[in-house]
Amino acid sequence: MILHPHFDVNEQGHLTIGGADALALANTFGTPAYILDETVIRENCRAYLHAAKTHFGADALPLYASKALSFTGIYRIVAEEGLGIDCVSGGELYTAQNARFPAERIYFHGNNKTDADLCQALEMGVGTIVVDGDEELEALHALASARGLAQKILLRITPGIDPHTHRAVVTGNVDSKFGNAIATGQALAITKKALSLSGVRLAGFHCHIGSQIFEIDPFRDAAHMMLRFIADVKAATGFEATELNLGGGLGVRYTEEDREIDYAAAIAAIAEIVRAGARSAGIAMPRVILEPGRSLVAAAGATLYTVGSVKEIPGFRNYVSVDGGMPDNPRYALYQSRYTALIADRAGEKKDYIATVAGRCCESGDLIGEGMPLQKPRRGDILAVLCTGAYNYSMASNYNRLPRPPVILVRDGKARVAVRRETFADLVDLDITE
């Protein structure tokens, strides 16, 4: 096992992903390529659903935050596993619809939904719209009323929790483009407005405090803020929320230094916090919803590249350049996110070579990682970056006119193309030449 049980080494010393030989995958599908172990995604969905039903109750519905990885096939998988989804754009809604995802299990998010987005959601019959602000609320009321609808909504609330400095900075997140802050009174004001509008039917509240969180405490703080808010709303208006969506954010093990999170145990802990918090706030236990993105798909993925140049600069560092880079994985360039990489050809050998893994773009910041331990690389080797299932393909671009890699699903050792590789012809397909 390397980092996660589905990454292993076979008798030839090659990396295997979900039982499939990484070199054979690279040979068949070319590089760069995103490989996803479908079994891992399905197991993660089942673990979340089972834990949510066990600890929150039979009507629990975890949502897959599909911004993490969006293509038609993933919505099919998530639909089959019985989860709902979070969509944040017309494009995600369209892709979900293309997969025939049940619309009533869709939650539609976003801090600046256009009228066109809202109409699309209403026409699709999206179950729940998470309203971010006043203008959107008014627009939705008008659009839904005109169709004779009372659209189910949640209101996005900013509880004021910064997950990385939580407790110390309890108003840290009030300054946000998202949602309505409790601390400023805007959350209560928009709640009153929502209750007065016939085109919407308020079911409860939503918050999302951040991503790649390893501790339960920030969720505890957020849940307490939200439950107190529900109680305050009840006292002020008589309305008692029946739904509380606590967002996503549980972390993923990207490197040996990251902890493994037991998601079922985390869900059990959150359920206990909400149950006790609701009791002490004097409100009924709401239906609790979680929206994991990263923790459902990140670990399932790996990106395969071919090593090109290996440049050793005496006294400085070693650059290993691969045939992809920031267009297929912008996360180091954007956030200095750390990954585990290895040479798939010699996966069982010791990693005694330290390199900066660089992409092929005309830009020095085009790096996959710095100080990465690897087996000594040679031109033509396959370099694998692990845990790239989340926020890689979904954030990919065509910078430098690089075609986007395919997405390959592996299940029971067998591989199939879920998204084909872009071609140069695809790149010019939108260009008008006349």
Residue numbers of the site for ligand LLP (CB under 6 A)?
65, 68, 86, 109, 208, 211, 247-249, 291-295, 331, 335, 391
Instruction: Indicate the SS3 state at residue 76.
Output: helix
- Which is nearer to ligand LLP, 151 or 388 (by Cβ)? 388
Question: Cα dihedral angle (25, 31, 33, 39), rounded to 10 degrees?
Answer: 10
CA distance linking residue 277 with residue 351, whole number of Å: 48
Q: What's the farthest any 2 CA atoms get from each other in the chain?
A: 72
CA separation, residue 324 to residues 16, 334, 401 (Å): 21, 16, 11
Cα–Cα distances in angstroms (integers) from residue 93 to residues 89, 110, 181, 200, 384, in the given order: 6, 12, 27, 20, 32
Label residues 200-218 b or e (16+ Cβ within 10 Å = b): bebbbbbbbbbbbbbebeb
- Least distance to ligand LLP from the beta carbon of 207, Å? 8
Measured from the CB of residue 235, what is the shortest distance to ligand LLP in angstroms? 27
SS3 assignment, position 285: coil
Please say which residue, 202 or 343, places its beta carbon nearer to ligand LLP.
202
State the residue for tokens 């599908």. 29
At its nearest, how many Å lie between ligand LLP and the CB of residue 391? 3
Task: Report in angstroms how near the CB of residue 181 gets to ligand LLP at its nearest.
Answer: 16
Between 133 and 292, name the residue whose CB sits nearer to ligand LLP. 292
Catalytic site includes residue 119: no
Q: Concatenated DSSP letters for 331-384?
A: HHHHH-----EEEGGGTTS---EEEEEE-SSSSTT-EEEEEEEESPP-TTPEEE
- β-strand 63-65 against 84-87: which pairing, if any? parallel
Q: Which is nearer to ligand LLP, 174 or 343 (CB)?
A: 174
CA atoms within 13 A on the CB side of 328: 29
Q: Nearer Cβ to ligand LLP, position 38 or 86?
A: 86
The least distance separating ligand LLP from the CB of residue 402, rounded to whole angstroms, comes to 19
Catalytic pick among 45, 119, 361, 362: 362
The Cα angle at residue 305 between residues 299 and 307, in degrees rounded to 5: 135
Smallest separation (angstroms) from ligand LLP to the CB of 25 = 24
| For ligand LLP, the closer CB: 191 or 295 | 295
- At 368, the amino acid letter reads I
Q: Which residues are catalytic?
A: 362
